[in-house]
Structure 1
Amino acid sequence: MPLPSWLRRLFDGRSLSGSSASPEFTPRAVILGLLIGCLLCFTNLYFGLQTGWISMMSLQSALIGFLLSRLLGTPITPQENVVLQTTAVATGTMPLAAGFVGIIPALSLLEPEKDGSGPVTLSWLSAIGWSCAVAYFGVFMSPPIRKQVIIEEQLAFPSGTATAQLIGVLHKMPPPQLSVRQRRGYSALTAEDGGDIPHTPGFDEADHVEAEVREVVQTEGWSALTLSFLGSSILTLLAYFFPVMFAIPLFGTYLARQWLWSFTPSLSYVGQGIIMGFPTTLSMNLGMLVGWGVLSPLSKHYGWAPGPVGDMTSGARGWILWTALAIMSSDSFVALVPVAREYLEKLLRRSSSSGALGSDVDGLDDDKEVETEERLVSLKWVLWGLGSSVALGIVIVWLVFGKEGIKPWATFIGFAMGGLLSILGVRALGETDLNPVSGLGKISQLLFALIQPGNVVANIIAGGVAEAGAQQAGDLMQDLKTGHLMQASPRAQFYGQLLGSTLSVPITVTAYVLYSRAYPIPGPTFPAPTAYVWLSLARLLRNGQLPDYSATFMLASAVLFAVISSLKTSATRRQLWYAKYIPSGVAFAIGFLNTPSFSLARLIGGVVEYFYHRRMADKGGRDDIRLIVIASGFVLGEGVMSIACLVLRTFGIGVASCWGCSHGMCGGCSA
């Protein structure tokens, strides 16, 4: 069926920014990006509240955007695809940037006797204000950071580079020139031994590879995406009415009921495992085995955690949380050490060189910029944007939390800390593909324990401000790396980031309010594990009390993972093949925070990814691309169906049967 004329005009590729030559910021790119981003926003909020883990989905957004554009008559250009996925990522990652998977639930858990303040629950309007306070700081920081890490230092940003590779193949462009080997997740241009295939005239195999990949996407893309989406959606709906389907007592009802060892056969978790890759899911499951198979029964047996296993205050789940916190902090801090050292050394060298050479050095720096001035974000915009976002953010935070919260001058320090920590986080992301935002937030919490001692609310808010800047700047920098390799306009991407962040504020807040009205947060369905991490550290910094013997295990695990992280960081920076198999401290700790059911399903996805990638995938990577499409459908299927389940619960339509469920095993039956 042909599209209506008004719809064809909307999607005809005209530029919204007034540029007629090679339009990039077009209605169709922006609208498709916002639509995909809204789906990602709901999906990331849903899974973030369940497991504390969200995904940028930049590569998947580019792939889905390409498929959708084929329905519009005139396919989008590669540069439009860059803007599309940039807009989608900015829209989809707001649940983490604004703290709705950790900060906001943590504030709702406050207790007067422990924290000096009662629960802080934000209204819809207050949540909108808080989100606006932190939504734009990272966006305006991106252009100046781009100049340093992408243009000057040419850091890898593996996920952004992988997305550029895929866009190049889909749109029949030569692959971007890369100076470093890239990461897992996209191997269509990679030989079986892992070496890069040079794209040179007459190299028929590379041309054949690209043609096969495009054929897979164009002929099988929609069917694979639709079938995987429907399969995941139907399974999610069935699990809503029959909750035991997502709480299978894999090792018997006793272990499931008393020790929380159940299995959730969620296709979305399998899809997340495929996207994460085998090394990450392996680290997560190693942590799950140590946390839930060793430390949990140990703490219960010796009486260190006498309460029910799942209790976050007196039970084993709350006890092992402290070990997870030590591992995450140690891993993040160690990974940042070489980044900080190199950055300071470069600043010192630049300072001494500038004194000796004067303006010649600046001239050399400017020569490295490949974009013309009209395609860049002007310095005036950056300065005005940073100034206004910080000023308005300080005022809004004061209005939202009042005098009992964080002081205005302290909020300013929080933004300043966020700016400094963002630089470290972006550099770590550019080199390792891991943005240590959890560790960066903890640094800010430690500082504010000195600035506003005893104020738990201020401590959590300050950490949230710093984490928001670091997380947002890092995610957007991956997109700018993609745009740089695809010769897309940084200004067009900047527009997309602003629009995506703006729309995501009401979408995220409304979704969170609806979820919180239908389900207890934290609760059986949405445990919000990272909320307890934030709150536990803030309480520790206030009163210094730890559960019995947890300090010993925290110290031992911190030292152990400091060594492991040092080895992993060194191997990664030297681009050694085994670096990805050295356990990731953050992923290992996530295995502690989540019950085994979440980790086991992701391991299945990781094994599937490994099996396809190493055993079944042909030279051209046809199965790699097909697997990415299927994984995307799995994740989006449950995320979208969760909206329908939310509507059902809001209207009082509950489960059909609690058969097989014991108290505490099934979220739908124990709420």
Structure 2
Amino acid sequence: MEEGRNEEERLGGEEDDESKLESTEQVFEKVEIPSWKNQLTLRALFTSLVLSAVFNFIVCKLNLTTGVIPSLNVAAGLLGFAVIKSWTAVLHKAGLLKQPFTRQENTVIQTCVVASSGIAFSSGTASYMLGMSPTIAAKAEEGNTPNNVKTLSIGWMLAFLYVVSFVGLFSIVPLRKMMILKYKLTYPSGTATAYLINSFHTPKGAKLAKKQVAALFKCFSFSFLFGGFQWFFAADDGCGFSSFPTFGLKAYAQRFYFDFSSTYVGVGMLCPIMVNVSLLIGAIISWGIMWPIIETKEGIWYPPNLSSSSLKGIQGYRVFLSIATMLGDGLFNFFYMILVTGLSFMKRRRSEKNDPASLLPVDDAINKDKGTQLQDLDDQRRTHHFMKDSIPNAVAVGGYIALAALAIIAVPFIFPPLKWYHILVAYAIAPVLAFCNAYGCGLTDWSLASNYGKIAILIFSSWVGQDNGGVLAGLAACGVMMSIVSTASDLMQDFKTGYMTLASPLAMFFSQVAGTFIGCTLSPLVFWIFYKAYPLGDTHSAYPAPYAALYRAISLLGVEGFGSLPTNCLSLAIGFFVGAVAIDVLKEVLKKYETKYRAYRFIPNPMCMAIPFYLGGYFAIDMCVGSLILFVWRWKNKQQAKDFGPAVASGLICGESLSGIPAAILALAGIKAPICMKFLSAAANAKLENS
């Protein structure tokens, strides 16, 4: 989940005693800063390509299972450091090292990899694109018409991503100086990543980084081998360790079990604890209470003997109550962020009128306060290098207009129901939404790109209408909007990281362009491997792809209205929508007025609670195990957990995710595992023996 990207605030914010004696830039004062061209080295780009392939598999697998995506900035920075540092160490011993490894080059790698993995999320291969496919469309009786369905193919997927994914890079570039220098937005993930990279390249930090790398690769090896070991026992659906009835067969039937997934355990270690607890609470409310009650109404509220995937039956309640909760949370945060942005602007304007010094050039404003000389030195050096390689505003505006014009022409050829004037309207309002998302992300570290995408689905699907292909148009419009809004906030996060590591904005921009190109290329190719190897979208398969059905259901809701819902589903949906808003309001009120106990920290997140409505609680249990491991680790040795927790989590995620590559290749070749380890009740076992 893109919204859960605030864990890194805790990873690099504290400074040790030595760092308090001198500023960060004093430590690096004698280190030569390479030109922007020398920051974009061939070894950096090659390393970025390799790591991007790894991270694309990770993000694609997570998208196809739970949709919960942790922040991968730390893993990207750490793995980039490990690869290049190992390479340069070998060259140094051989006397062949021509250019030392710098923190600027490390930042370029991290930017490129995160840009690529960001495309893997915003590309929608596992959400709105898969939602267009005949497989997902067949699950709903409505909207399954030729003009509302599109067969997936590598060709049009690549073409669509190339056309729409680069526009967002130009939408926010003219505002980078205002965001970073004038308003000094924090961008917590970008700031934490910068602290991490700076620490890697100090003598003390480099020693710790080597230990972190060793821990990462130990956990990677364990996770990879354990993932391969599990494959031997999973000959068919319902077989293997992933179907172990940990809490009994009745709990297993309601999807409550621990499925021995190293990936989810690692994700749980990276996500905030309340994210994982929220997932578990949502699973208990839905699969523990709501769905068993609604199932007793079969034949009363909905027809009996429907297929398990029909939206006219129990599946409809699962999907639409999940959508209602997500929309309630999303719309609240959307309008709340606009309110926060507006109030922040008004406050800054008043302060500028009352304090003329705030209108001085950045360098003069920084020099105003002589009482913070160490911070002044950091700010002066960072501002100088941030302004040094500027990107002309004319280039940014011209690039946006040119790429938008290309999309206006090309997208209707790929999606005929979406006309040129629909795209024009989307690109006319997109820069405003991109600014709101980037500004809000700078304040709170939350990107609401997926919420903007859902709103676009409802608007454009309703505008086009079902008979004219509104379902397909809404899903395609989601892709257009998400690609701009998501890329804008990601780029500004990376600009903040580059500002604090003295990486050239020009090098950062070109690194982002390279990462976007890599992501647009790899994301459909990686998805295609899973698409051909596994039955995607089946709720009982290893890759249920929950967001594909959810996004298509949102589009159906846009074209059909609420009359398509099962009996009492609308009333329940309204209740869950209002409940999500009420929870968000309560949390914000407690944040503002209750400071002694900080009770708002214990209020669950509605968006996270909604995810298990469709999937069940198995992955939430895995993630809570990850939180439990980290909690016990912090209790025993807080500093060690802080230093090595992200490395261990990254190793667990990378290892099992990559073990899926040989499994997918074997599946494509028609080779099944030799053993099916399955668990039966005593009665079923006796019946099997007597048969």
TM-score bracket relative to the smaller structure: 0.7 to 0.9
- State how far apart, in whole Å, the 1-side matches of 2:317 and 2:247 are: 23
1:89 paired residue among 114, 118, 138: 114
Cross-structure match for 1:3: none
- Asked if 1 retains the 8 angstrom alpha-carbon contact of 2:104 and 2:498, the reply is yes
- State how far apart, in whole Å, the 1-side matches of 2:589 and 2:64 are: 33
Q: How does 1:93-112 map to 2 (within 5 A)?
A: 93-108=118-133, 109-110=136-137
Cross-structure match for 1:414: 426
Cross-structure match for 1:387: 401
Q: Does 1:584 align with 2:605?
A: yes
Change in 2 beyond 3 A, CA 1:660/1:63:
same
Q: How does 1:319-334 map to 2 (within 5 A)?
A: 319-334=317-332
Corresponding letter in the other structure for 1:492: A
- State how far apart, in whole Å, the 1-side matches of 2:671 and 2:593 are: 56
1:592 deviates by 2.0
- Asked if 2 retains the 8 angstrom alpha-carbon contact of 1:90 and 1:500, the reply is yes
- Asked if 2 retains the 8 angstrom alpha-carbon contact of 1:62 and 1:163, the reply is yes
Q: Does 1:121 align with 2:151?
A: yes
Cross-structure match for 2:230: 239
Q: Does 1:526 align with 2:553?
A: no
Q: How does 1:204-243 map to 2 (within 5 A)?
A: 211=204, 214-218=206-210, 220-243=211-234
2:585 paired residue among 566, 569, 580: 566
- State how far apart, in whole Å, the 2-side matches of 1:557 and 1:372 are: 46
Determine helix, strand or coil for the equivalent of 1:521: coil
Cross-structure match for 2:447: 435
Q: How does 1:20-31 map to 2 (within 5 A)?
A: 20=35, 23-31=38-46
Corresponding letter in the other structure for 2:228: L
Change in 2 beyond 3 A, CA 1:581/1:485:
farther
Corresponding letter in the other structure for 1:107: M
- Asked if 1 retains the 8 angstrom alpha-carbon contact of 2:386 and 2:504, the reply is no
Q: Does 1:517 align with 2:532?
A: yes
Q: Does 1:51 align with 2:72?
A: no
Determine helix, strand or coil for the equivalent of 1:431: helix
- State how far apart, in whole Å, the 2-side matches of 1:566 and 1:370 are: 42
1:451 deviates by 2.7
1:255 deviates by 4.1
- State how far apart, in whole Å, the 1-side matches of 2:565 and 2:384 are: 54
- State how far apart, in whole Å, the 2-side matches of 1:312 and 1:279 are: 33
Q: Does 1:139 align with 2:166?
A: no
- Asked if 2 retains the 8 angstrom alpha-carbon contact of 1:270 and 1:634, the reply is yes
Cross-structure match for 1:539: 556
Higher mean C-alpha deviation, range 308-317 or range 157-166:
308-317
1:302 deviates by 2.2
Corresponding letter in the other structure for 1:78: R
- State how far apart, in whole Å, the 2-side matches of 1:62 and 1:571 are: 35
Corresponding letter in the other structure for 1:335: N
- Asked if 1 retains the 8 angstrom alpha-carbon contact of 2:536 and 2:545, the reply is yes
Cross-structure match for 1:495: 510
Change in 2 beyond 3 A, CA 1:91/1:438:
closer
Change in 2 beyond 3 A, CA 1:93/1:254:
same
- State how far apart, in whole Å, the 2-side matches of 1:451 and 1:569 are: 34
Corresponding letter in the other structure for 2:481: A
User: What does the per-residue CA deviation read over 1:597-639, in whole Å, with 9 as the maximum and x for residues that have no partner?
Assistant: 11110111122223323x1234xx2332212111101111112
Corresponding letter in the other structure for 1:530: Y
Corresponding letter in the other structure for 1:331: D
Cross-structure match for 2:282: 287
Q: How does 1:114-193 map to 2 (within 5 A)?
A: 114-115=142-143, 117-118=145-146, 119-172=149-202
Corresponding letter in the other structure for 2:155: L
1:345 deviates by 4.9
User: What does the per-residue CA deviation read over 1:436-474, in whole Å, with 9 as the maximum and x for residues that have no partner?
Assistant: 223212221232244323311111111221122222222
- State how far apart, in whole Å, the 2-side matches of 1:374 and 1:630 are: 38
- Asked if 2 retains the 8 angstrom alpha-carbon contact of 1:56 and 1:93, the reply is no
TM-score, normalised via structure 2 length: 0.80
User: What does the per-residue CA deviation read over 1:166-205, in whole Å, with 9 as the maximum and x for residues that have no partner?
Assistant: 12222229xxxxxxxxxxxxxxxxxxxxxxxxxxxxxxxx
Cross-structure match for 1:207: none
1:247 deviates by 1.3
Change in 2 beyond 3 A, CA 1:63/1:172:
same
Q: How does 1:61-80 map to 2 (within 5 A)?
A: 61-73=76-88, 76-80=101-105
Q: Does 1:298 align with 2:293?
A: yes
1:534 deviates by 1.0
Determine helix, strand or coil for the equivalent of 2:280: helix
- State how far apart, in whole Å, the 2-side matches of 1:120 and 1:583 are: 37
- Asked if 2 retains the 8 angstrom alpha-carbon contact of 1:279 and 1:606, the reply is no
- State how far apart, in whole Å, the 2-side matches of 1:433 and 1:593 are: 27
- State how far apart, in whole Å, the 2-side matches of 1:516 and 1:228 are: 28
Output the aligned Cα RMSD. Answer: 3.0
Higher mean C-alpha deviation, range 580-589 or range 524-533:
580-589
- Asked if 2 retains the 8 angstrom alpha-carbon contact of 1:136 and 1:501, the reply is yes
- Asked if 1 retains the 8 angstrom alpha-carbon contact of 2:316 and 2:565, the reply is no
User: What does the per-residue CA deviation read over 1:218-269, in whole Å, with 9 as the maximum and x for residues that have no partner?
Assistant: 2x3333222211111122222223122111112333443x433333111111
Q: Which runs of 5+ in 1 are unaligned?
A: 1-17, 174-210, 664-671
1:314 deviates by 4.3
Q: How does 1:265-664 map to 2 (within 5 A)?
A: 265-303=260-298, 304=301, 311=309, 313-345=311-343, 364=361, 370-371=384-385, 373-401=387-415, 403=416, 405-454=417-466, 455-523=470-538, 524-544=541-561, 545-569=564-588, 577-613=598-634, 615-618=635-638, 621-660=639-678
Q: Which runs of 5+ in 2 are unaligned?
A: 1-32, 90-99, 235-239, 366-382, 682-691
Corresponding letter in the other structure for 1:564: I
- State how far apart, in whole Å, the 1-side matches of 2:281 and 2:172 are: 35
Change in 2 beyond 3 A, CA 1:300/1:485:
same
User: What does the per-residue CA deviation read over 1:136-166, in whole Å, with 9 as the maximum and x for residues that have no partner?
Assistant: 1222224234333332322222211211221
1:501 deviates by 0.8
Change in 2 beyond 3 A, CA 1:642/1:162:
same
Higher mean C-alpha deviation, range 523-532 or range 437-446:
437-446
- Asked if 2 retains the 8 angstrom alpha-carbon contact of 1:132 and 1:393, the reply is no
User: What does the per-residue CA deviation read over 1:57-105, in whole Å, with 9 as the maximum and x for residues that have no partner?
Assistant: 0111111111222212256212221111001101112222111120111
Cross-structure match for 2:372: none
Corresponding letter in the other structure for 2:586: L
Structure 1 vs Structure 2: percent identity of aligned residues?
25
- State how far apart, in whole Å, the 2-side matches of 1:444 and 1:507 are: 26
Change in 2 beyond 3 A, CA 1:579/1:418:
farther
Change in 2 beyond 3 A, CA 1:372/1:526:
closer
- Asked if 2 retains the 8 angstrom alpha-carbon contact of 1:87 and 1:497, the reply is yes
- Asked if 2 retains the 8 angstrom alpha-carbon contact of 1:296 and 1:309, the reply is no
- State how far apart, in whole Å, the 2-side matches of 1:349 and 1:103 are: 39
- Asked if 1 retains the 8 angstrom alpha-carbon contact of 2:537 and 2:549, the reply is no
Change in 2 beyond 3 A, CA 1:239/1:361:
same
- Asked if 2 retains the 8 angstrom alpha-carbon contact of 1:287 and 1:591, the reply is yes
Change in 2 beyond 3 A, CA 1:276/1:307:
farther
- Asked if 1 retains the 8 angstrom alpha-carbon contact of 2:80 and 2:110, the reply is yes
- Asked if 1 retains the 8 angstrom alpha-carbon contact of 2:279 and 2:617, the reply is no
- State how far apart, in whole Å, the 1-side matches of 2:113 and 2:192 are: 17
Corresponding letter in the other structure for 1:117: T
